[in-house]
Structure 1
Amino acid sequence: MCGITGFINDSMGADEKRPILTKMMDAIKHRGPDSGGQVVDENVAIGMRRLSIIDVHEGKQPIFNEDKSKVITFNGEIYNFQELRDELVAAGHEFTTHTDTEVILHGYEEYGTDILKKLRGMFAFVIYDFKTKELFGARDPFGIKPFYYTQMGDTFMYGSEIKSFLRHPGFKKELNKQALKPFMTFQYSALNETFFKGVYKLKEGHYFIYRDGTMDIHQYFDYKAQPSNESLGEITDEIDNAVVESVKAHSITDKEVKTGAFLSSGVDSSYVASVLKPHTTYSVGFDRGKVNEINDAEDLAKELGTNMKSETIDANDAFSHFAQIQYFLDEPDSNFSCIPLFFLSKLAAKDVKVVMSGEGADELFGGYQAYGFWTKSRMIRLIAEALKKLPRKARKKIADSIRDKNFHGKAHLYTSIAPAEDFFIGDSRVFEPEEATEFLQADYQDAPTIQQIIGPTYEKVEDQTAEIRKMQYLDLHHFMPGDILLKADKMTMAASLEARVPILDVEVAKVSEKVPTKYMINSKNTKYAFRQAAKRHLPKEWYNREKLGFPTPIRDWLHEEKYYKIVRNEFSQDYVKEFFKQDKLLKMLDDYYDGKNDSRKQIWNVYTFLTWYKVYFINDGEKPAVEEI
């Protein structure tokens, strides 16, 4: 696990490139504090920071092929690298390390871009060919590891984190004005172009070839739902076999590298931990609010026979570190769970270099409430299941007839039968676009619409008869890589910790593609078949538990005078007028404090953006200190 960064420039000499590359590498040292390496010539500057996990002593990067005509830097883990290594040795390739990194390099020599279809893991890497002056790079199928790129003048830059670009003298830092309005709706950076003008994300499951100033991007992987007619017992067997095998595959490290597991009260992390049975599990909770997951996590840790370490967070902790959290994220993300994940990662990093977590289960197996599971009424659930069996036109007609009505169970019925593209954009929806327009200044009102952002994705699965499969596909290409996986990577790497997500694995995904939709969400629960598989390892109170997702007491904090004043002070700053109609912001906040609205998500969304903007544009992207609150 590490961080990669570099650039291509023909007009700059090698001696001029080296100090620039070193500064870029230093900006992401938290991703790889163990060592750094670089290769620089008249054309290219390639750098990396390493967190040593496999071949700890000999596996330093960059790594060259046999004749030193190609070099690789790599961020991630390849879990089937040993079998691929055997294939490549048999084909005549000579290895100088026992790393998974070198397997990718020789695999590219042997198979070309088809090596990507053989890799099982999480990755972002580049391979440079000194003979052709061609840069080949790729990102894993689900976007577990990040990859950014930009062309600024005569310089092409790439890296694991945008903050490394800021250290290059040729980087022109400019806010992408079109990113703000979608962020206010989606809660994360929803465009392929980031909040930094001209900086883009390489999409999940894509690779690129850059040569002579031209970047060609190609897709090599996509998720394709093909539900089978298998029985519940058969599909449950396949899910459990896949998860157990994946946890085992993801357990590979050098002997001296310790692995732990995150543990909440939910089924996903509990399932992973129950299979892994690590020496230590980790959890965090809050000192107030209705839900604190520590007690439940401690109870499960006792059941599993693992050591449990936990930490309680208060509002002072959250607000004093919030600027740092946004710094590490690179782009603003108002998902409340960024806060507990930041502290959870710091806690685990005191003991281990690797943790396993439960990301991916909701997207692969149908776990979100927003997929159509909004009521505890058994009767309404049964009615919804019956309506799902109607032809698509009949379902849409009923959905349209109840859309604007208000009655008990309406949300459950509507989201169960309405066309997904009519209402679903992901697990979170903060500001409605019209509402965002009312708050924004004129220069920020012009932005891509919801339809322009997610419409092309829906078009790829318009033939799916099950609406949940459309929603699942959308999340796999938007919410998961843009929010869930991004915060998982950035928050863990902020603590120099590698997070592995064994449920989000290509082999587990193959099973997910086959799950009959009636075993995803039904009248009994969300991700029903997945829970039946987890049942084989967990007590009922865990495998059947409602999803919580790191509950964070923002509601309580913003009703306390101390923290309300912190946010109000930020909303009152002069620079806020550049983006927002300040009087409307302050009224929304004041009304919330007085109990006149429930706009905590909207308030936190704006506060998040302003905090991020202050870090990267007012304070020039320097890592902020922990504030005294």
Structure 2
Amino acid sequence: MCGLSAYCHLGTPQKDTKNSRLDLKGSLESIRHRGPESDGTYISPCGRCGLGHVRLSIIDLEGGHQPISSANGDIQVVVNGELYDHDHKGHVFKTKSDSELALHYYEDYGTDFLHHLRGEFAVIIWDDSKKRMLVARDRFGVKPIYYTTVNDVFMAASEIKAFSALDWRPEWDLESIIMPPTILPPAHYMTVSASGTMDTTKYWDAEYPDKNIEDKRTLEEMIQGVHDHVVESIRLRLRADVPLGVYLSGGLDSSSIAGVATKLLRDSNSDAQIDTFCISFKDGGIYDEGDIAERTAAHIGSKFHRLSLTQDDLVDNYERTLWHVEQPILDLNAVGKFLLSGYVRHKGFKVVMTGEGSDEHFIGYPFFHTDYLREQDRSTPKGFGCIAEEDRQDMLSDRLAGSYKFIHYELPRETKINTKARFNDSDLPYQIGKMLALSTDFMNSKVVSYHGPAVVGSTVLDSIHGDIRLKATTKWHPVHASLYLETRTFFPNVMLTWLGDRVEMAHSIEARTPFLDHPLCEYTNSLPPSVKLCGQDPKGNRLNEKYILKEAMRPYVTDEIYNRTKHPYLAPTSKPGVQPIVRLLNKWVTKERVDHLGFLNWETCETIKERIIMTGDCMAYSSMLKVISLLILHEQFDVAPVTYL
């Protein structure tokens, strides 16, 4: 894992680089935490292009420095991430690094080289013969890459802060309440020509089966298929020239990774022992999974490391976490993961495996249940896992009458949602938007008058292509449609950011995600809904989530994990009274700070602030953390106040 920064002049390049305002080395220094061990730069002979790279060495510790050049020097590449299955033949390799594979595949296949890459990556390539820059991101968005244009200079980097040394100054985009630049979507690449032409292309997408065609595979074949794909994905991700650990919680996903990894290592060394790392919350009650994780660690014989945290620890490190995440965060989960990554680095590790991506493919989250119940599953073999039709309709009615549960938030179910008719009558587009955006009440009257009220559901739904929306409502089962929407919106922009790359790389930790191996995901997507979320399993259990993964991983996990229902990783939330979160509220949510920002409504902020202190209201707490995030980012990045209204 590494950090990237690059630029490309779109007009006449500036040859006098000594007087350039594009400080590539300064840009790299701002993301030094991503690659503390070495750095490298390339400036094209014509002065048009600059590439920069900071390195965290995992494979080929002595070699593997970047940028990497082709034999004739025409092609230069910088890579952030890890590429697997990379024993490529047919080229003379300068290094033993997996990153060099991107260069040679590009030589062989041009822009189609991305079809041949397996792993988590962001890539920037300069092709001097074409005077063209190519920027690409992995299929699920595990690794970030941002881009923008300033004064006829295109620039791209792993983090927003890297642009400050490239003559960029942040300002608020009130349409989305973020600081531009733009993040390249997952599974896309863009080409930038010397003439200024920019094209963005999707090179991969998720697909799901026709909901009306019965799958001819047997359940046993499907279980074996999942088993083999998971084991192969973990096997590939065990390759490293430095020690490797596993983030372990009390759930099926990380327990499966730890169990399979231990088995694979002991196949060649009977004394092999993997290190596992867990967060434990002191007095955390239901939030604390430390004891369950420790029992799993004992079962597989791993060396167990527990980091115990208090809510004071989380609040005290909120601002540091936000500096690395670079976008509003609405709970303290990210801070816990940030501190865990620092703990792992302190223990001498650079590489871990984590369980992200399993819930998005094996239907793990309870908020998917309603969309599973919307239609009978006609694709499952011989009706496996289906609920009797009358029972299905009754269960759906009960859920629609109750509140909407998204992750750990219990939200009132809205009756008038403008996107329901466009997306299988589902609440999900609206609820995702509502979770991420501040409501119109938080905006001052000038913002509402200028931009109009927020239409959060439409914003989320319009972010996916029209042909996909058509498939989602005519060909795919509703729960598969919701899986697609979540993996293309909330998952890359929240889960893989707050709980992924940004809080891991803050401490120079490379995290590998076996459940986001694209051959595994393509296989899992091809399965009928009812073998993943089993409406009624052979033992009579209803809505048994990740059923097929449990069966496939049964040899590697404890009975406790096998029988446990989904419990997402959560940090403790606020409580009434004098809690640590009140320190953040009193420090940041003041009339002076809110008014200086230029677009928030102080009266609303003041009211919600008092509600949290008095009641500990969960949704008010989440909304106010968004406000606090904006106020902190405004100061950390010296963002200009909004004055045009």
Find out whether 1:247 has 2:241 as its counterpart.
no
What is aligned with 2:266? Answer: none
What is aligned with 1:506? Answer: 518
Of the structure 1 ranges 454-463 and 358-367, higher mean CA displacement relative to structure 2 is found in 454-463
CA distance 1:320–1:245, shift in 2 (3 Å): same
1:312 to 290, 295, 308: 308
What SS class does the counterpart of residue 352 from structure 2 fall into?
strand
Cα distance in 1, alignment partners of residues 404 and 324 from structure 2: 42
Contact 1:426/1:479 (8 A) holds in 2: no
Summarize the alignment of residues 213-362 of structure 1 with structure 2, pairs less than 5 Å apart: 213-226=196-209, 228-254=215-241, 257-277=242-262, 279-291=274-286, 292-350=288-346, 351-362=348-359
1:369 to 366, 369, 372: 366
Contact 1:178/1:444 (8 A) holds in 2: no
Summarize the alignment of residues 404-483 of structure 1 with structure 2, pairs less than 5 Å apart: 405=401, 420=424, 422-425=426-429, 430=434, 436-445=439-448, 446=451, 447=454, 449-455=456-462, 457=464, 458-483=469-494
Summarize the alignment of residues 48-87 of structure 1 with structure 2, pairs less than 5 Å apart: 48-82=53-87, 85-86=88-89
Contact 1:229/1:516 (8 A) holds in 2: no
What is aligned with 2:109? Answer: 111
Cα distance in 2, alignment partners of residues 25 and 267 from structure 1: 38
Cα distance in 2, alignment partners of residues 324 and 408 from structure 1: 32
Cα distance in 2, alignment partners of residues 427 and 346 from structure 1: 33
Cα distance in 2, alignment partners of residues 306 and 593 from structure 1: 42
Summarize the alignment of residues 170-189 of structure 1 with structure 2, pairs less than 5 Å apart: 171-180=168-177
Question: What is the CA distance between 1:43 and its match in structure 2?
Answer: 0.9
Contact 1:426/1:475 (8 A) holds in 2: no
Question: What is the CA distance between 1:17 and its match in structure 2?
Answer: 4.6
Task: Kindly provide the CA deviation profile for residues 408-438 of structure 1, in whole angstroms up to 9, marking residues without a partner as x.
Answer: 99x99x99x99655300388565697x8112
Cα distance in 1, alignment partners of residues 145 and 390 from structure 2: 39
Summarize the alignment of residues 85-100 of structure 1 with structure 2, pairs less than 5 Å apart: 85-86=88-89, 89=90, 93-100=91-98
Question: What is the CA distance between 1:612 and its match in structure 2?
Answer: 2.6
Contact 1:282/1:309 (8 A) holds in 2: yes
Contact 2:21/2:166 (8 A) holds in 1: no
Contact 2:588/2:631 (8 A) holds in 1: yes
CA distance 1:406–1:25, shift in 2 (3 Å): closer
Question: What is the CA distance between 1:443 and its match in structure 2?
Answer: 4.3
What SS class does the counterpart of residue 133 from structure 2 fall into?
strand
Task: Kindly provide the CA deviation profile for residues 489-528 of structure 1, in whole angstroms up to 9, marking residues without a partner as x.
Answer: 0011001010000111111112212221111222242122
Task: Kindly provide the CA deviation profile for residues 132-156 of structure 1, in whole angstroms up to 9, marking residues without a partner as x.
Answer: 2111121111111111100111211
What is aligned with 2:381? Answer: none
Cα distance in 2, alignment partners of residues 346 and 597 from structure 1: 31
What SS class does the counterpart of residue 556 from structure 2 fall into?
coil
Cα distance in 1, alignment partners of residues 593 and 49 from structure 2: 39
Question: What is the CA distance between 1:561 and its match in structure 2?
Answer: 4.5
Contact 2:37/2:55 (8 A) holds in 1: yes
Counterpart code for 1:483: V
1:22 to 3, 15, 25: 25
What SS class does the counterpart of residue 461 from structure 1 fall into?
helix
What is aligned with 2:578? Answer: 560
Counterpart code for 1:575: R
What is aligned with 2:38? Answer: 35
Counterpart code for 2:561: W
What SS class does the counterpart of residue 585 from structure 1 fall into?
helix
- Normalising by structure 2, we get a TM-score of 0.83
Task: Kindly provide the CA deviation profile for residues 313-368 of structure 1, in whole angstroms up to 9, marking residues without a partner as x.
Answer: 11222122111101101222224320111011111112211000000000111011
- Identity across aligned pairs (percent)? 27
Cα distance in 2, alignment partners of residues 596 and 280 from structure 1: 37
What is aligned with 1:8? Answer: 8
Q: Structure 1 unaligned runs (5+)?
A: 181-194, 376-381, 621-629
CA distance 1:486–1:388, shift in 2 (3 Å): farther
Counterpart code for 1:32: G
Task: Kindly provide the CA deviation profile for residues 595-622 of structure 1, in whole angstroms up to 9, marking residues without a partner as x.
Answer: 28443222333223323333223699xx
- Normalising by structure 1, we get a TM-score of 0.85
The two structures, once aligned, show a CA RMSD in angstroms of: 3.1
Question: What is the CA distance between 1:6 and its match in structure 2?
Answer: 1.3
Cα distance in 2, alignment partners of residues 407 and 61 from structure 1: 52
Task: Kindly provide the CA deviation profile for residues 257-292 of structure 1, in whole angstroms up to 9, marking residues without a partner as x.
Answer: 110000000111111111112521001121223221
CA distance 1:314–1:403, shift in 2 (3 Å): closer
What SS class does the counterpart of residue 128 from structure 1 fall into?
strand
Contact 1:17/1:45 (8 A) holds in 2: no
What SS class does the counterpart of residue 108 from structure 1 fall into?
helix
CA distance 1:407–1:196, shift in 2 (3 Å): closer
Counterpart code for 2:239: I
Of the structure 1 ranges 566-575 and 596-605, higher mean CA displacement relative to structure 2 is found in 596-605
Counterpart code for 2:283: R
CA distance 1:128–1:374, shift in 2 (3 Å): closer
Contact 1:285/1:340 (8 A) holds in 2: no
Cα distance in 2, alignment partners of residues 304 and 2 from structure 1: 32
Question: What is the CA distance between 1:549 and its match in structure 2?
Answer: 2.5
Question: What is the CA distance between 1:302 and its match in structure 2?
Answer: 0.6
Cα distance in 1, alignment partners of residues 231 and 309 from structure 2: 32
Find out whether 1:132 has 2:143 as its counterpart.
no
CA distance 1:559–1:603, shift in 2 (3 Å): farther
Q: Structure 2 unaligned runs (5+)?
A: 263-272, 373-383, 415-419, 536-541
Cα distance in 1, alignment partners of residues 4 and 566 from structure 2: 35
Cα distance in 2, alignment partners of residues 39 and 432 from structure 1: 39
Cα distance in 1, alignment partners of residues 341 and 436 from structure 2: 33
Cα distance in 1, alignment partners of residues 587 and 234 from structure 2: 47
What is aligned with 1:184? Answer: none
Question: What is the CA distance between 1:108 and its match in structure 2?
Answer: 0.6
Task: Kindly provide the CA deviation profile for residues 434-477 of structure 1, in whole angstroms up to 9, marking residues without a partner as x.
Answer: x8112211344435642133145234522234211011000111
Contact 2:472/2:478 (8 A) holds in 1: no
Contact 1:65/1:71 (8 A) holds in 2: yes
Question: What is the CA distance between 1:573 and its match in structure 2?
Answer: 3.9
Counterpart code for 1:223: A
What is aligned with 1:544? Answer: 563
What SS class does the counterpart of residue 516 from structure 2 fall into?
coil
Counterpart code for 1:144: V
Counterpart code for 1:152: V
What SS class does the counterpart of residue 326 from structure 1 fall into?
helix
Cα distance in 2, alignment partners of residues 389 and 39 from structure 1: 64
Contact 2:137/2:145 (8 A) holds in 1: yes
What is aligned with 2:378? Answer: none
What is aligned with 2:387? Answer: 385
Counterpart code for 2:59: I
